[in-house]
């Protein structure tokens, strides 16, 4: 038996069996507390559930004696709360005769339906009740009302944790005052069983976690404010100490520890998503960085953070001591788990530090392989890098994907792509700057300002494309702006078919429509030669109209091919049948887009055909007036065709509901990080 000074404040044990009517109710309400005989309670050792927080030698702690009255009606209970029996239940401090009879009826029904009966005992140490002001050792008086209320408040959660929170469940309790330890007999049963069955019998055992939470809530309700405030102080101190450890993570570090930081930075995998730098990452490529980080954390806790660390451990031990006094010696040790969590927390703060200061720790190191390789790539120039890129792609097909050689090739390919991309973006920006300077030198007109705004937006898009991907993903507004501009100024000729969506096509067409409308409305503008596709064309505006129409046709063809690919993924023959003429047409339109002289040739053929027909039919004087009028309209139609398409497209684009119903998924374009 455990000595009183080792006894916990509160324990709970229970036994369970099939309900046998009112026999157990009579036992819990008996005037004299006696040990139950097998005939009375029919409980075997097999169905006994020990308190999970008690040591195994805690036998006899709940011994019964027959020297004192088991139950006692309360003298100072309000008249409204008084009843006929000392038994209490949810919301009732003492049962009335009617409530008592209903309890008996419930038990009989439970017995008929072979439901389970859980017979539990909650026992309190005298020291705890005395300290909490619930027990007077001199008068032997116990504040039953507060004990009953604490149990009533804890029961709903206790039942819910075991799936017993339903209308079939009922429970009752009786406070027994017949031993040195005030205890409560608690019984739970169901009129109709709702518990899972095991071998045809309702499951009897409760989870240890449920019992621990039950005891904790009762203890919390009963303990005095001073005891409660001590635990609150410890919790606050733990939080404050943890903050000190975090704030001091990079202060007063030694040279060796700084070297650790650089080694960790060098060992960290070059993930696109740096949020994968976490102590919970157990992948092979993260193993080296993780080991180095653990060594750094251990070094910090033994040196610059040692005082705070020892304070943190001592607070955890104090917290455990209080909990063991409350609930029992088998309360699990929290020091080691908390210490492990603290180390993981500090490791994650180190990864955050390295991610936020990536430039400092990964690109300013003279021995950094990536920096040196990037310098070498830049020295090789654009043409050489394109050749090497193709060669390295072929070589990557041979080695094991997980080998060091494959990883090295992947890094080189990624850096070459990044370099080529940056060069191309810089060239695009330079071209835009030249066009902007030309427009700025012309008179300020509506057309002039419209195209200046368009060119500046394209420059903004280039700047966004040059940012690392994580910079965009971390800033939703920036990402939204990037997507808007990307769709608005999508490269019609270069965009891959699999990235073409209805939404992106509509956005690009809207911009094209606005541009050609501005051109057709300002044909005499001083800046017109600076904005039309081929200012040297003999047909100028007609050439521009045909050029823009050709771009729209390319978008339509790519979108239709993409839709066919999606619709006929499993029907290759049908897909090829539909896409073959589209690809043929697309090839021809590419030629027109890249050579505006072909557009002039096509326009010239159309005009020659019209002129020949006009001469042919001029001889028929009867129809001459009508023919001349029709031919004039035909000539004008070529010039007006683009404008009509623009108006029609505008009408369609103004219907926002149509746009929203289209495919909302935007393509994700890979951005190579620095």
Q: How many alpha carbons fall within 13 Å on the CB side of residue 82?
A: 7
For residue 631, CA distances in Å to 307, 540, 604, 637 come to 97, 21, 15, 10
Burial class (CB in 10 A: 0-12, 13-18, 19+), 481: middle
Give the bridge partners for 201, in sequence order. Answer: 198
Q: How many residues are given for the chain?
A: 674
What local confidence, expressed as pLDDT, does residue 625 receive? 53
CB-based contact 189:115 (threshold 8 Å): yes
Contact present, 359 and 278 (Cβ < 8 Å): no
Compute the Cα dihedral for 474, 478, 479, 482 and give only its sign.
Answer: negative
Q: By the 8 A CB rule, do 72 and 148 touch?
A: no
Comparing CA positions, the residue from 322, 119, 319, 139 lying closest to residue 219 is 322
Beta strands 135-136 and 197-198: pairing type? Answer: unpaired
Q: How far lies 235's CA from each of 229, 232, 239, 323, in Å?
A: 10, 5, 6, 13
pLDDT along the chain (674 residues), means of 10: 58 78 55 38 49 41 33 65 85 88 89 88 85 79 86 93 93 83 88 87 86 85 62 65 68 64 78 85 84 85 79 77 63 78 86 76 54 79 87 82 78 88 91 94 94 95 88 90 94 92 95 94 93 87 90 94 94 93 92 79 75 62 50 51 45 39 37 36
Tell me the β-bridge partners of 16: 118
pLDDT value of residue 200: 78
Q: How far is CA 14 from CA 122, 192, 397, in A?
A: 9, 21, 66
Question: Nearest CA to 186 among 122, 117, 111, 99?
Answer: 122
This prediction's pTM = 0.41
Number of neighbours of residue 487 by Cβ within 10 angstroms: 20
Q: What is the 3-state secondary structure (H, E, C) of 118-178?
A: EEEEEEECHHHHHHCCCEECCCCEECHHHHHHHHHHHHHHHHHHCCCCCCCEEEEEEEECC
Q: What contacts 24+ positions apart, CB below 8 Å, involve 390-396? A: 392/416
Token representation of residue 450? 């419209």
Say if residues 74 and 93 touch (Cβ distance below 8 Å): yes
């Amino acid at each position: 038996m455990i000595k009183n000074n080792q006894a916990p404040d509160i324990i709970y044990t229970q036994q369970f069996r099939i309900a046998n009517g009112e026999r157990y109710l009579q036992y819990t309400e008996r005037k004299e507390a006696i040990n139950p005989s097998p005939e009375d309670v029919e409980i075997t050792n097999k169905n006994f559930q020990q308190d999970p927080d008690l040591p195994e030698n805690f036998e006899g702690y709940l011994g019964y004696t027959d020297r004192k009255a088991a139950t006692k009606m309360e003298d100072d209970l309000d008249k409204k709360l008084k009843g006929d029996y000392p038994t209490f239940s949810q919301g009732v401090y003492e049962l009335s005769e009617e409530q008592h009879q209903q309890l008996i009826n419930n038990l009989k029904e439970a017995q008929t339906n072979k439901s389970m009966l859980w017979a539990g005992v909650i026992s309190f140490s005298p020291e705890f009740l005395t300290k909490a002001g619930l027990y007077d050792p001199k008068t032997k008086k116990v504040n039953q009302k507060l004990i009953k209320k604490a149990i009533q408040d804890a029961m709903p959660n206790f039942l819910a944790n075991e799936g017993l929170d339903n209308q079939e469940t009922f429970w009752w309790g009786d406070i027994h005052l017949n031993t040195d330890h005030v205890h409560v007999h608690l019984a739970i049963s169901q009129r109709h069983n709702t518990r899972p069955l095991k071998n045809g019998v309702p499951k009897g055992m409760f989870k240890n976690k449920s019992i621990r939470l039950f005891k904790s809530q009762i203890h919390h309700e009963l303990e005095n404010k001073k005891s409660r405030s001590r635990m609150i102080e410890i919790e606050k101190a733990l939080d404050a100490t943890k903050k000190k450890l975090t704030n001091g993570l990079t202060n007063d570090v030694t040279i060796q520890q700084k070297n650790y930081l650089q080694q960790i930075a060098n060992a960290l995998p070059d993930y696109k998503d740096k949020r994968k730098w976490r102590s919970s990452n157990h992948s092979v490529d993260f193993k080296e960085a993780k080991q180095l980080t653990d060594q750094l954390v251990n070094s910090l806790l033994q040196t610059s953070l040692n005082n705070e660390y020892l304070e943190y451990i001592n607070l955890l031990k104090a917290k455990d001591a209080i909990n063991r006094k409350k609930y029992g010696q088998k309360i699990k040790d929290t020091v080691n788990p908390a210490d492990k969590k603290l180390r993981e927390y500090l490791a994650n703060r180190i990864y955050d530090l390295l991610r936020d200061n990536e430039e400092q720790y990964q690109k300013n190191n003279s021995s950094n392989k990536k920096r040196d390789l990037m310098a070498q790539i830049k020295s090789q120039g654009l043409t050489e890098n394109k050749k090497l890129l193709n060669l390295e792609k072929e070589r990557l097909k041979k080695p094991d994907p997980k080998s060091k050689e494959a990883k090295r090739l992947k890094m080189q390919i990624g850096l070459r792509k990044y370099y080529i991309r940056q060069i191309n973006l810089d060239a695009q920006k330079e071209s835009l700057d030249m066009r902007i300077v030309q427009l700025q030198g012309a008179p300020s007109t509506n057309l002039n300002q419209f195209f200046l705004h368009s060119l500046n937006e394209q420059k903004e898009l280039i700047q966004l494309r040059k940012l690392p991907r994580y910079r965009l993903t971390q800033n939703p507004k920036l990402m939204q702006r990037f997507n808007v501009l990307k769709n608005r100024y999508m490269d019609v000729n270069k965009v891959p078919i699999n990235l073409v969506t209805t939404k992106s096509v509509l956005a690009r067409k809207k911009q094209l429509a606005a541009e050609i409308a501005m051109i057709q409305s300002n044909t005499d503008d001083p800046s017109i030669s600076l904005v039309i596709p081929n200012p040297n064309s003999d047909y100028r505006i007609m050439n521009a109209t045909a050029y823009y129409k050709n771009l729209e046709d390319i978008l339509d063809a790519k979108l239709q091919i993409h839709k066919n690919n999606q619709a006929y993924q499993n029907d290759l023959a049908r897909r090829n049948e539909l896409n073959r003429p589209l690809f043929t047409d697309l090839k021809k339109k590419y030629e027109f887009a890249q050579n505006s002289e072909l557009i002039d040739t096509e326009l010239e053929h159309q005009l020659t055909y019209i002129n020949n027909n006009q001469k042919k039919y001029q001889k028929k004087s009867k129809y001459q007036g009508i023919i001349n009028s029709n031919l004039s309209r035909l000539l004008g139609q070529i010039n007006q065709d683009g404008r009509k398409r623009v108006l029609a497209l505008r009408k369609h684009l103004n219907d926002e509901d149509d746009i929203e119903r289209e495919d909302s998924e935007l393509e994700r374009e890979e951005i190579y990080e620095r």
